[in-house]
């Protein structure tokens, strides 16, 4: 095995660099692929005894990882030669570094949030899952990407199974099956591309031949494209509170990164993204499980990112990746707040909650910060990134898509900005009173995430300086602020009016299915019907065969019985005649 490190500035995807920023201010004594540090921490955690040693490993791993990645820069590489196979474990440019920074932040927040968790499975996944995500965004070739792509599925499904509820095993199996299919599509496309080009290099691919479409579909599954999205809405709400926080940060954002690297400017993404922003709103409004509401809102927000990647201009691409950056912060905060509600009350359905603000005031305020951020209120994180995508659509003449995004912006405020805090903490008084304090780690992680949402939203300069493409943009113009404020104001009025007149869909104790009806309802029914038909045919064949065999046995018994033909005494002469006739027949057959 040979390890090669150095500079790859001539090898990375040809993209204009953004504002100059050198974060290599901490000189680490090592320069390792970031994924290695997290995987090493996960292995050490498995070997460590219970208690403070595990906690120390959990806290130290992302800290060491942060020191490591801050010492690295665009153009660094780490290749491993294994026989004739070369794996590009770490190829960095400004795009991958942006996702690397936020993944470290998300991992650290999640570790703090889960300090009270003593389950080794969740602790292991808290390090191994971010490690797989980091491996994917720094992969320099499609084969390395495939390895980490599958590790994402294997390490994240543990967070669903770790809940150990009645529904988590089935949800986990469906989640794993769909994600494994995504990996197989990626591998198939990579092998075809290797045969055509002689290289596994992971850069701009574009839509052309079969290989590019297979890889595109693979990315689309993990990005939750319409009709391929149900693994998110099915699996995420069945995970543990810590698990849902982690799941919201990594898998779909890795897919957004992959699309931004391989398919920028693919116009089909504009229309796919527009549909993604639109359809989840209606399911989120009628959904009772508040974590499933957030899963739908995640698809809605990813839709904005996909539109930006499809438009493909510097402004649109910067808007897409910066919105992914911010979504990790504010969606993580909302998932944290709902995780606290589930942890403290054991309930997560809107029909069973309400009135929690009386005994959980701090959690209520922090949830509202997350709601304001996802709704793109001025001075909160979502405003400084989503507005870039909206402006890019107008500049490039996509008026219809711009209108869809305006509707989707109002919709996300409706179902995530208002519905989540309203039904969880206000609405009707459920009578639930939380007497115990929220675990300190959970509270600290929420406070840090809320602080990050406010800081990025009010001072976006640092985020803008990290963006991969050249940027000339001012978020806080009078037009942007007034337009967004009007959208939010009208959406709030609509919500209030629907509640007053009783037209808002009630929170029903039910499970809503959309495209997953095909394999969760229609599929099982079809299997049961086919099983019944097969059973009917099988029974008919068995009965018919049995009847025929019984009839044959009765015939043979009659013929071989005491009075049967075969039991009679035959004269010797008759036997000789029969033998002669048979001999003549055989000779005739041979001669003919």
pLDDT in tens, the chain (592 residues): 444 555 443 333 444 433 334 444 444 555 788 999 999 999 999 998 888 899 999 999 999 999 999 888 777 777 777 777 778 888 889 999 999 999 999 999 999 999 999 999 999 999 999 999 999 999 999 999 999 999 999 999 999 999 999 999 999 999 999 999 999 999 999 999 999 988 888 999 999 889 999 999 999 999 999 999 899 999 999 999 999 999 999 999 999 999 999 999 999 999 999 999 999 888 888 888 999 999 999 999 999 999 999 999 999 999 999 999 999 999 999 999 999 999 999 999 988 888 899 999 999 999 999 999 999 889 999 999 999 999 999 999 999 999 999 888 888 887 788 889 988 898 878 788 888 999 999 999 999 999 999 999 999 999 999 999 988 888 888 887 887 787 777 777 766 766 676 656 665 565 666 666 565 666 677 777 777 778 788 778 888 788 787 777 776 676 666 666 555 665 666 667 667 777 788 787 777 6
With CA atoms as reference, report the closest residue to 137 among 189, 180, 95.
Answer: 95
- Domain assignment present for residue 324? The answer is yes
Same domain, 195 and 292: no
**Residues 448, 62 contacting (CB under 8 angstroms):** no
**Tokens standing for 570?**
């035959």
Cross-strand partners of 86: 81
Q: Phi and psi of 266, rounded to 5°?
A: -75, 110
Same domain, 349 and 406: yes
Specify the residue for token string 């990375």: 12
- Domain assignment present for residue 571? The answer is no
- Domain assignment present for residue 42? The answer is yes
Same domain, 106 and 36: yes
Same domain, 273 and 259: no
With CA atoms as reference, report the closest residue to 189 among 208, 210, 204, 207.
Answer: 210
With CA atoms as reference, report the closest residue to 270 among 181, 138, 390.
Answer: 390
Q: How far apart are CA 375 and CA 370, in angstroms?
A: 8
- Domain assignment present for residue 3? The answer is no
- Domain assignment present for residue 577? The answer is no
Residues shown for the chain:
592
**Residues 30, 68 contacting (CB under 8 angstroms):** yes
Q: What is the pTM of this model?
A: 0.84
Kindly write down the DSSP assignment for every residue of 215-230, as one continuous string. HHHHHHHHTT-TTS-H
Last residue of a domain, one of 248, 263, 278: 263
Half-sphere exposure of 513 (CA within 13 A, CB side): 9
Q: How far apart are CA 106 and CA 66, in angstroms?
A: 11
- Domain assignment present for residue 2? The answer is no
The total number of structural domains in the chain stands at 2
Taken in order 104, 109, 114, 115, is the CA torsion positive or negative? positive
Same domain, 228 and 274: no
Same domain, 198 and 291: no
**Tokens standing for 410?**
């109002």
Last residue of a domain, one of 513, 547, 574: 513
Q: How far apart are CA 218 and CA 210, in angstroms?
A: 12
- Domain assignment present for residue 573? The answer is no
Same domain, 344 and 436: yes
Question: What secondary structure letter does DSSP report for 259?
Answer: H
**Tokens standing for 176?**
């794993």
**Tokens standing for 138?**
């720094």
Specify the residue for token string 């209030």: 496
Q: How far apart are CA 260 and CA 270, in angstroms?
A: 13
Task: Collapse the DSSP code of 42 into the 3-class scheme (helix H, G, I; strand E, B; otherwise coil) and give the result.
Answer: helix
Last residue of a domain, one of 461, 479, 513: 513
CA 281 vs CA 341, 355, 412: distances in Å:
23, 25, 7
- Domain assignment present for residue 481? The answer is yes
Q: Phi and psi of 505, rounded to 5°?
A: -55, 125
Cα torsion 159, 161, 162, 165 to 10°: value is 130
Same domain, 339 and 221: no
Sequence-separated (6 or more) residues with CB below 8 Å from residue 227: 515
Same domain, 201 and 273: no
**Residues 347, 432 contacting (CB under 8 angstroms):** yes
With CA atoms as reference, report the closest residue to 348 among 297, 298, 293, 411.
Answer: 293
Same domain, 232 and 268: no
Same domain, 139 and 254: yes
Same domain, 190 and 47: yes
Range of the domain at 68: 8-263
């Amino acid at each position: 095995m040979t390890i090669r490190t150095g500079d790859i500035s001539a090898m990375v995807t040809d993209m204009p660099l953004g504002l100059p920023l050198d974060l290599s201010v901490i000189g680490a004594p090592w320069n390792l692929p970031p994924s290695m540090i997290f995987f090493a921490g996960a292995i050490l955690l498995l070997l460590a005894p219970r208690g403070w040693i595990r906690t120390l490993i959990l806290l130290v791993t992302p800290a060491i990882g942060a020191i490591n990645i801050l010492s690295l820069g665009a153009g660094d590489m780490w290749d491993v030669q294994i026989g004739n196979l070369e794996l590009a474990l770490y190829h960095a440019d400004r795009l991958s570094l942006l996702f690397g920074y936020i993944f470290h932040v998300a991992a650290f927040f999640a570790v703090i949030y889960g300090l009270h968790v003593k389950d080794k499975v969740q602790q292991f996944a808290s390090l191994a899952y971010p490690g797989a995500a980091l491996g994917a965004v720094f992969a320099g070739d499609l084969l390395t990407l495939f390895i980490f792509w599958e590790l994402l599925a294997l390490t994240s499904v543990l967070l669903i199974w770790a809940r150990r509820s009645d529904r988590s095993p089935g949800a986990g199996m469906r989640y794993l099956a769909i994600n494994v299919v995504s990996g197989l599509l990626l591998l198939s496309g990579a092998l075809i591309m290797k045969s055509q080009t002689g290289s596994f290099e992971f850069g701009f691919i574009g839509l052309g031949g079969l290989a590019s479409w297979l890889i595109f579909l693979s990315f689309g599954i993990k990005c939750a494209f319409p009709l391929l999205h149900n693994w998110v809405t099915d699996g995420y709400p069945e995970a543990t509170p810590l698990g849902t926080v982690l799941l919201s940060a990594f898998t779909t954002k890795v897919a957004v990164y992959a699309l931004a690297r391989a398919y920028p400017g693919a116009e089909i993404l504009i229309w796919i993204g527009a549909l993604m922003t639109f359809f989840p709103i209606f399911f989120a409004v009628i959904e009772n499980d508040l974590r499933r509401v957030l899963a739908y809102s995640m698809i809605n927000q990813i839709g904005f990112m996909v539109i930006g990647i499809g438009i493909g201009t510097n402004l649109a691409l910067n808007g897409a990746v910066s919105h992914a950056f911010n979504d990790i912060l504010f969606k993580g905060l909302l998932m944290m707040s709902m995780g606290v509600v589930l942890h403290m009350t054991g309930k997560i359905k809107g029909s069973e909650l309400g009135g929690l603000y009386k005994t959980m005031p701090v959690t209520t305020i922090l949830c509202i910060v997350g709601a304001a951020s996802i709704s793109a209120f001025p001075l909160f994180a979502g405003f400084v990134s989503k507005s870039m995508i909206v402006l890019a659509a107008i500049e490039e003449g996509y008026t219809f898509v711009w209108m869809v995004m305006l509707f989707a912006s109002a919709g996300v405020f409706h179902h995530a900005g208002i519905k989540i805090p309203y039904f969880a903490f206000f609405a009707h008084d459920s009578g639930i009173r939380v007497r115990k304090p929220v675990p300190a780690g959970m509270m600290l992680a929420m406070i840090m995430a809320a602080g990050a949402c406010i800081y990025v939203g009010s001072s976006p300069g640092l985020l803008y300086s990290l963006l991969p493409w050249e940027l000339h943009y001012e978020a806080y113009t009078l037009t942007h602020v007034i337009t967004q404020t009007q959208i939010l104001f009208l959406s709030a009025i609509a919500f209030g009016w629907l509640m007053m007149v009783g037209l808002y869909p009630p929170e029903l104790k039910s499970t809503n299915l959309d495209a997953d009806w095909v394999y969760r309802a229609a599929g099982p029914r079809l299997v049961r019907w086919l099983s019944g038909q097969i059973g009917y045919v099988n029974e008919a064949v068995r009965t018919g065969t049995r009847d025929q065999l019984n009839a044959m046995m009765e015939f043979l018994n009659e013929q071989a019985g005491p009075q049967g033909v075969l039991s009679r005494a035959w004269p010797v002469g008759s036997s000789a005649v029969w033998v002669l006739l048979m001999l003549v027949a055989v000779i005739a057959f041979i001669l003919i």
